[in-house]
Structure 1
Amino acid sequence: MPDTSDSGGLTVGRAAKLLGVTVRTLHHWDGIGLARPSLRTAAGYRLYTAADTVRLHRVVVYRELGLDLESIRAVLDDATADVPAALRAQRAEITERIERLRRLGTGLDRMIEAQERGMLLTAEQQAQIFGPDWDPEGPVKARRLYGDTEQWRQYAERAATRGPKEWQAVADRAARLDHALGEAMDAGVEPGGPEAERLVERHREVFSAYFPLTREMQVCLGRMYEDDPGFAAHYDGVRPGLAGWFRRLVDASARAHGIDPDTAEWR
């Protein structure tokens, strides 16, 4: 223990340095009556005796264990206090906190992996959910193309929380939409009508499983569905000409909402 002052005690500054706390902390403990210095110098400066310093050490130990100051006061001052019970309760709380941190760590690992890979499924799981024609490298390729966008970050945040069951639900909703689009095309649904508008809104809702889709973004997707060979093959596999038909529905809906499809941008 450091030397005491000439008056036989530790100054507040020395005590703070000894305990690894701030002077402000010691002043606070003094102010609430938790640990007060017992001596004063002739000039009025407060000094901690050896007994005071022992109490301070005990306060620091219990505080580092996570006890709040009132619990520490009870442990130190209440002769009837059940100290083992208080410590067991604190041990249980710490155990729970460790488990929360473990879950947080696992969640962060999944978030990191989702940001890097996109979809946290094996190739076999992806084929089972999305079909044998699905490219399991598709999410990785998308990461290379779009990894610096806000939409990729939103997609990855959703993907981090999903396992096979959740992705199956996403795939099922998309399949039901494809079926509804095919039936609507067969029924002669025209762009701009109420049924067409419901289908366009349903597409935006289904697509939101990946990230929020604005109307302008939807117009850009409609172009891609028609122009990209992979997307066109998918939709034309549902019904020949479906990709072009759906694009016309989207463009008509955009116009109804004041958006020019010819100048729409990804925003």
Structure 2
Amino acid sequence: MPDTAARAAAPPSPAGADGAARPPEDALAGLVDATALHAPRRSRVPLPRPVRRLAGPLLMVVVWQALGTFGIVGERVLATPGSVLSAGWELTRTGELADHLLASLARVASGLALGVTAGLVIALTAGLFRLGDELLDSTMQVLRALPVLGLLPLVIIWFGVGEAPKVALVAFGTAFPVYVNTYAAIRGVDNRLVESGRTVGLGRLGLVRHVILPGAVPGFLVGLRFALTGAWLIMIVAEQLNATNGIGYLMNQAQSWYRTDIIVLGLLIYGVLGLAADGFVRLLERRLLGWRRGFEGGA
């Protein structure tokens, strides 16, 4: 009769008003915790991600418009969003904005093509070869410390006052972010992966192709993101000196007439172009790094 004695010694289960047995409170707590752990987590804001990303800029525009509408900030100091849109529409209607924008895009594209290519080639040479590291890395670190815009007078002496100095400045300023991040990514590849590749029979070219270069892609994309942003920062200054077109030139001309609406328009164009460039890099990351899943943030 041991089962009967055990049942008699066990504490009675709590009962409700209807006399039905209730599970112990600890069991209920454990059941709730287990349910919460396995239940799918939902976003607190039931909106698409692009809409949530635009919420911050839209709020800034609303505050900006309110400051101008209520006279807290004068039109001479900072034009309102409505004035900026009006100026943008007028320049678009006359075709002037498109001409300046295309000129800036051509300069940035040429400078980026040269700078990114140079930075990538030097990073591969220094990262993959010991002799290249000894000869190139220290030189690149010295050049990286030079102020890009401080080279403008020297570049003008070298290349004149045409398109060449502007493209050269962009190329010089964008090569270093690509070099530094790509070189660090190559040297940061886990040596255990290299040893594993050797174990399965990969030679030097096979290791570079299947282990080192894939491991360096994230670093290269980080450098490319900095390079795209830096290109527009350099161009906005370069186009204000010895230029006859471009967004920077347009802003410089507007300064003479105290047209803050055109100046702010130019700044917004640079910001939108920077956002588009960042979106392009994000697209590359999804294409090239689909095998790698990283932390995407909590709900």
TM-score range, shorter chain: under 0.3
Q: Quick one: higher RCO (CA 8 Å, sep 6+), 1 or 2?
A: 2
Q: Which has the larger radius of gyration?
A: 1
Question: What TM-score comes out, normalization by structure 2 length?
Answer: 0.21
Higher helix proportion (structure 1 or 2): 2
